[in-house]
Amino acid sequence: MPRYKLIIEYDGAPFAGWQLQADQPSVQGALEAAVKATCGEDVRVHGAGRTDAGVHALGQVAHCDIAKPFRADRLRDALNAHLRPNPIAVLSAAIVPETFEARFSAVKRHYLYRIHNTRANLALEIGRVWRVPRRLDADAMHAAARRLLGKHDFTTFRDTECQAKSPEKTLDQLDVIRQGDAIRIVTSARSFLHSQVRSMVGSLVWVGEGRWSADDLAAALAARNRAACGVVAPPEGLYLVKVDY
């Protein structure tokens, strides 16, 4: 049975997250409905990351097994036709070995968090960025972010409902970049805990506002206590950018 790798872009705003839910719309559910409309089969679509409600993706990766053979580009086009009007696009489809797993074969995941740092209200970027009106010190945020790099127990930045077996993760990248009124926070790791990125971003914003120092951020990490976390950034600024294999 052919296995297909899909690269997917979506606006997370209308969905309760990636994961299939019985009573709420999900990205996974919309994709599985599109597959069934295309081939008539009930097929499970497995994603590389279970993005939360409201989180977007520029390069989510998924795989599925379909008994009926398709040319990869025709499968892509058929899925996109059946996905309308959902804000989901299958950017590419490819036939891959049956050993490929979207989630477990991944070696690194890349996320972007976007902050609009201006007092002006949002117009075109509503639902796409976090507007923080108070001027942020991006250099201080970047310097503090260095304290989170490497292998740590990230319990402080882990959602209380996280199902990961261990709170230990190795953070490979966490950069804070200002471009005018835009602040981009770029991070990568093999995997992340539930709400880890949003928790780190919110705490970094406290650094940028002057509420916390880099030492305060390091102390929060060392506390290994969810109560020590700063504010959790809202989901609309977060994007799953790419997954490496």
Active site residues: 52
Contact status, residue 167 vs residue 181, Cβ threshold 8 Å: no
> Whose CA is closest to 6, among 91, 81, 88?
91
d(CA 111, CA 176): 12
> Angle CA(90)–CA(7)–CA(186) in degrees, nearest 5?
120
Which residues are registered as beta bridge partners of 186?
112, 175
Residue 171's φ and ψ, nearest 5 degrees, are: -90, 115
The radius of gyration of the chain from alpha carbons, rounded to an integer in Å, stands at 19
Pairing of strands 56-65, 238-244: parallel
